[in-house]
């Protein structure tokens, strides 16, 4: 009796879907909705469902079976579409507000393995030096191949203080290696700032959350108060996995007073949109360098691409991740939803970000810089009895210069990309100050 009831239920669902498709098709052109639903294939699905229920070696839960089928529908589309059960939906909402537990990794699936998009700032993953592009092939000796992305993420999450072993494959390293991480509560501070040198500021954007643009404005104004004048700023988007589209648009808008920031195109009319800069208040004119790498994805690529196309900033670093697709979360109930790719991003000049990313204006590879040992090198100022400069200023020996330059040397050694970005920013500022007299008069 139960079997007949289930079969009747499926036939009713299939008939309802077919009627729904026919109704929609009568109202709109077929191209807009993709035509009628495949009735024969739906009947086949119902038959397979019943075969599994009747013949599988163990009892199966109807709800789990249907949820697995839905997951397969979405995960077969692309790495970013997914079915969100109650736990996953809750995690998604938590990630965009700023606090959650786990390892601090933004990940996707590639060829059946978990691929690292970016480690999150101040997380166990960042402390362990996990990098964009790393492939996770095992979690606590369990093969990742065959898991869904949701299953892998659930394994990586857990109570604070517990450990997990990740087996990593990294380009350039011949053999897989293991990394042991301790889970902790991840609190994402979306924007941080500091002064690198007098007049030159640094703004780190870790992720695009609800209040990121507002926090960015606050940190930028703080830098301006501490540096009079603020000669330039570096926006660091490295290992920023993205986040909310609207927040990235709002941040780019701070520096643009007109023109397109980003536009999207998809198959249905609702997925097509153009987002323009607001002219309601003057754009900030601080000279900018934007720093990106292979972990800069999605919303961070929107900011970098907009500022680059408008020639508002010099973009440096390495090629970004290339996630140029738009995901829309469609709630099914209060606890469940589907996340589906609905459009592609394009920069103001019409460049597709998808699978290409943003190419920097100047490439700066990550490298380990070793301090040069200059022991034994001398200059005129080191010689006993050298002639004075005759301008009232004291001569400075090389050894004294090296002692005074420890901060700069430390930055070059710890973060060569940031060091080079700072040097480029200084050059931009100096070139802006050196306007020929005739050119200045003609303006």
Residue 141 is among the residues annotated as catalytic for this protein: no
Among the options 123, 298, 300, 325, which is catalytic?
298
Helices and strands: H and E segment counts in the chain: 14, 19
Question: How far is CA 345 from its chain centroid?
Answer: 14
Question: How far is CA 13 from its chain centroid?
Answer: 40
SS3 call for 367: coil
Q: Could you report how far apart the first and last alpha carbons of the chain are, in Å?
A: 88
Which tokens belong to 175?
């053999």
β-strand partners of 343: 326
Closest CA to 106 of 146, 156, 46, 37: 156
Residue 121 is among the residues annotated as catalytic for this protein: no
Closest CA to 241 of 319, 300, 328: 300
Residue 276 is among the residues annotated as catalytic for this protein: no
SS3 call for 415: coil
388 vs 41, 392, 395, CA distance in Å? 92, 9, 7
Do residues 273 and 263 make contact, with C-beta atoms less than 8 angstroms apart?
yes
β-strand partners of 273: 264
Question: How far is CA 254 from its chain centroid?
Answer: 20
CA trace torsion 294, 296, 302, 305 (10° rounding): -40
Tally of CB atoms within 10 A around 44: 11
Among the options 309, 320, 325, 339, which is catalytic?
309
Catalytic residues: 298, 309, 323
């Amino acid at each position: 009796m139960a079997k007949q009831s289930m079969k009747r239920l499926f036939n009713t669902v299939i008939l309802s879907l077919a009627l729904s498709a026919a109704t929609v098709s009568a109202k709109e052109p077929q191209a807009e909705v993709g035509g009628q639903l495949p009735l024969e294939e739906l009947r086949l699905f119902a038959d397979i469902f019943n075969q599994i229920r009747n013949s599988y070696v163990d009892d199966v839960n109807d709800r789990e079976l249907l949820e697995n089928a839905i997951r397969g529908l979405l995960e077969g589309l692309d790495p970013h579409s997914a079915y969100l059960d109650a736990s996953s939906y809750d995690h998604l909402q938590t990630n965009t507000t700023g606090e959650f537990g786990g390892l601090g990794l933004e990940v996707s699936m590639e060829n059946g393995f978990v691929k690292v998009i970016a480690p999150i700032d101040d997380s166990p993953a960042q402390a362990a030096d996990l990098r964009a592009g790393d492939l996770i092939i095992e979690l606590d000796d369990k093969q990742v191949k065959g898991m869904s992305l949701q299953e892998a993420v659930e394994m990586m999450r857990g109570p604070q203080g517990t450990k997990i072993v990740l087996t990593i494959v990294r380009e350039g390293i011949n053999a897989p290696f293991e990394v042991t991480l301790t889970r902790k509560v991840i609190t994402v501070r979306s924007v941080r700032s500091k002064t690198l040198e007098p007049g030159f500021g640094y703004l780190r954007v870790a992720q695009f959350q609800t209040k990121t643009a507002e926090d960015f404005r606050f940190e930028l104004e703080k830098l301006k108060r501490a540096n009079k004048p603020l000669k330039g700023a570096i926006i660091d988007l490295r290992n920023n996995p993205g986040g909310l589209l609207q927040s990235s648009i709002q941040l780019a808008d701070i520096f643009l007073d007109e023109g397109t920031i980003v536009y999207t195109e998809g198959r249905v009319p609702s997925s097509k949109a153009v987002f323009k800069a607001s002219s309601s208040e003057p754009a900030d004119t601080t000279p900018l360098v934007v720093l990106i790498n292979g972990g800069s994805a999605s919303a961070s690529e929107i900011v970098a691409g907009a500022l680059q196309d408008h020639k508002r900033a010099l973009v440096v670093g390495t090629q970004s991740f290339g996630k140029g697709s738009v995901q829309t979360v469609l709630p099914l109930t209060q606890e469940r939803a589907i996340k589906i790719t609905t459009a592609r991003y394009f920069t103001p000049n019409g460049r597709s970000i998808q699978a290409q990313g943003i190419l920097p204006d100047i490439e700066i590879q990550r490298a380990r810089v070793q301090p040069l040992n200059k022991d034994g090198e001398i200059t005129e100022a080191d010689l006993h009895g050298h002639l004075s400069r005759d301008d009232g200023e004291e001569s400075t020996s090389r050894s004294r210069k090296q002692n005074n330059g420890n901060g700069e040397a430390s930055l070059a050694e710890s973060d060569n990309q940031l060091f080079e970005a700072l040097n480029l920013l200084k050059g931009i500022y100096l070139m802006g100050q050196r306007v020929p007299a005739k050119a200045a008069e003609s303006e």
